[in-house]
Amino acid sequence: MVVGKTHVIIIIGKNFIRFGVLGAGQMGAMKCDTLVAIARLIRAKTSAWVLMVVVGIGLTSCAADETAIYLERPVADIYNTSMDLLLDEDYQSAALSFEEVERQHPYSMWATKAQVMSAYAHYLDNNYDESVIAADRFISLHPGHSDTAYAYYLLGLCYYEQISDVGRDQNMTVKALEAFDSVVRRYPTSPYARDAQLKMDLARDHLAGKEMEIGRTYQSLDFYLAAINRFRTVIERYQTTSHVPEALHRLTESYLALGVTKEAEVAAAVLGYNFPGSTWYTASYALLRERDLEPRLSKQSWLARLF
């Protein structure tokens, strides 16, 4: 940009008209009101949206560096443009365009729909933080809306996509589980409930895997009581996950290491009763036989009461 000069550009739809480079004296003659009038005239003669930008240095009118004047567009035009951007996979622009629907027409029926569509576009753009903010806002403003179930589901998806491996913090897993649980509990007949339930099961399995990893680490360090607490958490909280057979076997190992043979026998008995063909049961049974012990249940054991 040339110092002391002003660039005047009027954008029409996806094209632009540039009114050259004006000097300071010329800019003074072409007042801001005049430029706005030109933009409005173009808008009146076309169906396109119009944006006038005045950019310069050392200006005494309109702005010091940059001024953008937005002219109101029909809500249907903005919404349709947003959908076109979404279909063209320009998700970032689509999200911003959907936000413009609410900004220009906050009380229209399209504004509410645009809010949730903005959250969806941010999600497709992998901008999960912005999607969460938009979805949370929609839920707060429209708790009884027909799209609120989807907003909860979208929240869950945003967190679910950020779930890390079991060696890292599982905060996102917990948040995903909470969001999907809201879908299943509040909207059990919604089209999102089934997938939400599936992802809840996967999230629980992930959390159980985290507990198992910590428990195995404690066990390898001979911290058997701490390990038992982790394996017990898996059995009590995540009974439907794939980690339960191993958790029962690890309990058998840990109880034997501590000399608590009765609990070891119960753990092996529960494992054999519920997963008789499991390789974990074969391993647990072998450990007991090495000590002349047998799997047997006891009503006094917490495991017997649980199963």
Q: What pLDDT score does 56 carry?
A: 41
> What does the pLDDT look like over 109-147, one tens digit per residue?
899 999 999 999 999 999 999 999 999 999 999 999 999
* 167: phi then psi, degrees, rounded to nearest 5: -80, -5
The residue out of 32, 55, 70 marking a domain boundary is 70
The reply to whether 54 and 103 lie within a common domain is no
Residue 290 lies in a domain: yes
Domain membership of residue 97 as a residue range: 75-206
The reply to whether 193 and 112 lie within a common domain is yes
Over 90: is that where the pLDDT of 37 sits? no
The Cα-based distances of 63 to 9, 31, 52, 54 in angstroms read: 14, 11, 13, 8
Closest CA to 233 of 219, 248, 220: 248
The reply to whether 84 and 192 lie within a common domain is yes
Residue 219 lies in a domain: no
CATH for 167: 1.25.40.10
- Is pTM beyond 0.75? Reply is no
The reply to whether 62 and 158 lie within a common domain is no
Q: Are 160 and 203 in contact (CB under 8 A)?
A: yes
The residue out of 161, 178, 206 marking a domain boundary is 206
The reply to whether 84 and 183 lie within a common domain is yes
For the chain, how many structural domains are there in total?
Answer: 3
Q: What pLDDT score does 71 carry?
A: 58
The reply to whether 84 and 37 lie within a common domain is no
The Cα-based distances of 64 to 68, 128, 236 in angstroms read: 12, 35, 65
Residue 85 lies in a domain: yes
Residues 12 and 50: their CA atoms lie apart, in Å, by: 5
Q: What pLDDT score does 202 carry?
A: 94
Residues 234 and 249: their CA atoms lie apart, in Å, by: 12
